[in-house]
Amino acid sequence: MDIKKFVLSYYSNATEYFHIKEITNPKEALSLHSHEYYQIYYLKSGKLIHHLGCGCAELKARDVFIIPPNLPHYIEKASKDVCFYSISFMPRYIAEIIHSNKFVADFIHCITDLSSEGVEPSLTLMSEDIALADALVLKIMQEFLGVMTGSDALIKSSLSLLLSIFARAYLDEQFNNMKFASERETVLHCLGYIKNHLSEKITLDEVAKRTAMSKSAFCESFRKVTGETFNNYLNRERVEAAAVLIKSGKLVFEAAMKVGYGDPSTFYRNFRKHFGVSPSEYK
């Protein structure tokens, strides 16, 4: 079967490395194809089906998929009111983003190195991320279509945030679907999750639920593998991450917020307990 190969210059108004367009009547993408660039579909309304490898997924409003270069796929309209954003960019366009944003770098590495069976045909965003994703896509579109000073820099910064949102959806989905061979492997994956989400609200109930273990069984396994309780580990990771930020010049309250502390008194208490001095004395 012939697979049509698209290049970025197919789009008449594309730059050398980037393009974005709002699409209501897809044509070429309805047949099997691949392209030299990364491509994001962000569904605004309606439904479409994304076929990839041996699988497919139905996308609804605010669902997304991202396809790496040279991966054959095609879409199918599942409703008349389909409208989506197509965001295309060459690998070198996001080189700076990957260099400065490890979270996005891990995500791009995952989807680029996997076969078609390993790439998710659809991603569902967390509800609290949708409004921001909408705003970022619109900002990218406005900057691309307008002739304004600093447009490329604003597109890249917005794209970095957008990819971070998609990375969280992807990596969380991968985490939720993992089958663990042992309790040690289960706990080790949880430690990685904690490190990548320190700035967010993390609870014992939430993490235990991700492992499909009861809370008591998870706590027992966690202590066995790490030698400490879940809360002690979480607090230690947070204050040690905050200490690095403080040493780099961040204000104490900024460091506390960046590692997930909303209550300054709790942060000060945990920091002093771990380091033996207050954050200000440590600085």
pLDDT digits (tens, 9 = 90+) for 75-128: 999 999 999 999 999 999 999 999 888 788 878 887 887 666 667 888 989 888
Cβ(129)–Cβ(137) below 8 Å? no
**Distance in angstroms (rounded) separating the CA atoms of residues 233 and 143:** 43
Q: Which of 143, 150, 37, 151 is nearest to 86 (CA)?
A: 37
At 265 the three-state DSSP class reads helix
Contacts of 99 (CB under 8 A, 6+ apart): 105
Same domain, 217 and 261: yes
Residue 181 lies in a domain: no
| Average pLDDT of the residues in 121-149 | 92
Residue 249 sits in a domain whose CATH number is 1.10.10.60
> How high is the pLDDT of residue 86?
97
Most confident segment among 134-138, 181-185, 220-224, 274-278: 134-138
Q: How many domains does the chain have?
A: 2
pLDDT digits (tens, 9 = 90+) for 169-222: 887 776 665 555 577 778 888 888 888 888 888 889 888 877 777 888 889 989
Same domain, 232 and 103: no
> What percent of the chain clears pLDDT 90, i.e. is strictly above it?
56
Residue 225 lies in a domain: yes
**Distance in angstroms (rounded) separating the CA atoms of residues 258 and 254:** 6
**Distance in angstroms (rounded) separating the CA atoms of residues 112 and 57:** 19
Same domain, 117 and 75: yes
> How high is the pLDDT of residue 110?
79
Same domain, 134 and 208: no
**Distance of CA 32 to CAs 2, 203, 255, Å?**
8, 44, 48
Task: Write the single-letter amino acid at 30.
Answer: L
Q: 277: domain range?
A: 191-282
Cβ(34)–Cβ(23) below 8 Å? no
Q: What is the mean pLDDT of the chain?
A: 89
